Structure 1
Amino acid sequence: MESFSYLGIVLLTLISPLPTEVIMPLTGFMAAQGKLNLVYAVLAGVLGSVIGALPWYFAGKYLGEPGLRKLSHRSGGWIKVSMEDIEKSKYWFKQYGGRAVVLSRAVPGVRTFISVPVGISGMPVLLFLFYVVLGATIWDALLAGSGYVLGDRYYLVKQYLGPASNVVVAILLIAVVVLLFRRKTRRANKSKSSLSAKKLESKL
């Protein structure tokens, strides 16, 4: 980051094994030292997220799951695809649509592979980019801002904000349970209504 400045943030977001929860608080710390501009640092992180999401989006759109499996196998392990994460991302997207793209920025693993089911679904690329930019801006700004406030204790951000992804998952799971319960209740009410109508018709 010191060598390449904002380009370094983009590159780290793209190719580094370090998660955003480590990279962005460090940018906030460097901004507090006057080495970076906080706004530009967040924008660089968002740009890295967008560039990193597009290949998975187009892979989902043009290759699908079977194509990704073949690509992973033929690459000899250079391209690693977690089908478990893709399945989880598919479930998220099926339940929440575009909101899943926004919320997934707070969940490592899902934030990458959510692009695959979005591409498979045929969502317009501009709409997809809107959701990615929105989610990445919120999450990156929160992480970088926390690092800015904490200063040389920026490394504590991951310790405290890392569990936030678990909170997001918990909220989504609760929402799914509520949604399923409502659907089941509606179906039960419909079946009762249809039975009542049939009984009334038989009496008439």
Structure 2
Amino acid sequence: MIDWATNLVASGGLFGVFLLMVAENLFPPIPSEVVMPLAGFAAARGQMSLEGVIIAGIAGSLTGNAVWFELARAFGTDRMYRILDKLHRFTRLGREEVGKAELALRRNGPAAVCIARMMPGIRTGISIPAGLVALPRRVFYLWTGVGTMIWTGGLAVAGYMLEDRFDLVERWAGPIGLTIMLGVFTMIGWQVWKARRAG
């Protein structure tokens, strides 16, 4: 199964990796926790270059997130939420997911854009509130790039180094992301509690 999946990813080449990561950030069909380690495996077997895999993955992720960010900036809150309501069954992005992402952004500032890249559930959703609050483009793309480089590059390198031990990457990538998410929401809850106490 792993050989088949790895060969399938490798058959698309670097452009295929790019397209999969664009799609993952628009309407998550296959998570990055699967795509990038598989691409890393293919690189370890000489089917692609590791550097190319990392660059293609980062570029695809940035492109997908840029679409949501620029749409949100252009359309505003009301129109954007109407779009999300219509596309929810395809994108899995709805008002609840965006609301959580917006809370993280307002409480933690632009750094939340970076942290969210490693958090399941709001990884893509964070781009929408960032656009709705008109976060400066250079700030958004800088933090998005940093978080994407860490997460996407890390998954590719893990796949490259572990090669056939795909189950290890898949087993650990999810819990790591969930741990980061829990830490962020704990910090948010602590800040809300302090604000209410002060009030």
User: TM-score, structure 1 length as denominator?
Assistant: 0.82
- In our comparison, the structure showing a higher alpha carbon Rg is 1
| CA distance in 2: counterparts of 1:180 and 1:167, whole angstroms | 20
**Which residue is 1:9 aligned to?**
17
**Pairing partner for 2:46 from 19, 24, 34:** 34
Q: Is the 8 A contact 1:60 1:119 kept in 2?
A: yes
| CA distance in 2: counterparts of 1:171 and 1:144, whole angstroms | 24
| CA distance in 2: counterparts of 1:181 and 1:61, whole angstroms | 31
Q: Is the 8 A contact 1:25 1:147 kept in 2?
A: yes
**What are the superposed Cα offsets for residues 113-170 of structure 1, whole Å, 9 maximum, x if unpaired?**
1011111111121221111110010011211111112111224312112111111112
Task: Tell me how far 1:79 sits from its aligned partner.
Answer: 6.2
Secondary structure of residue in 1 paired with 2:135: coil
Aligned-pair identity (%): 29
Q: Aligned residues, how many?
A: 187
Alignment of 1:178 with 2:190, yes or no, is: yes
Alignment of 1:166 with 2:174, yes or no, is: no
Alignment of 1:101 with 2:109, yes or no, is: no
**What is the root-mean-square deviation in Å for CA atoms of aligned residues?**
2.2
Structure 1 segments of 4 or more deviating over 6 A?
A: none
Return the letter of the residue paired with 2:183: I
| CA distance in 2: counterparts of 1:104 and 1:94, whole angstroms | 13
Task: Tell me how far 1:174 sits from its aligned partner.
Answer: 2.4
Q: Unaligned stretches of 5+ in structure 2?
A: 1-8
| CA distance in 1: counterparts of 2:131 and 2:111, whole angstroms | 15
Inter-CA distance 142–45: structure 2 relative to 1 (3 Å threshold): same
| CA distance in 2: counterparts of 1:75 and 1:100, whole angstroms | 25
**What are the superposed Cα offsets for residues 43-91 of structure 1, whole Å, 9 maximum, x if unpaired?**
1111001100111112221223321233345669666641111111111
Q: Greater shift after overlay, 171-180 or 75-84?
A: 75-84
Q: Is the 8 A contact 2:104 2:188 kept in 1?
A: no
Inter-CA distance 156–79: structure 2 relative to 1 (3 Å threshold): closer
Return the letter of the residue paired with 1:108: P
Return the letter of the residue paired with 1:169: M
**Which residue is 1:91 aligned to?**
103
Return the letter of the residue paired with 1:23: V
Return the letter of the residue paired with 1:90: E
| CA distance in 2: counterparts of 1:89 and 1:9, whole angstroms | 26
Alignment of 1:137 with 2:149, yes or no, is: yes
Inter-CA distance 89–130: structure 2 relative to 1 (3 Å threshold): same
Alignment of 1:62 with 2:74, yes or no, is: yes
Inter-CA distance 110–73: structure 2 relative to 1 (3 Å threshold): closer
| CA distance in 1: counterparts of 2:124 and 2:51, whole angstroms | 23
| CA distance in 2: counterparts of 1:72 and 1:181, whole angstroms | 31
| CA distance in 1: counterparts of 2:87 and 2:149, whole angstroms | 33
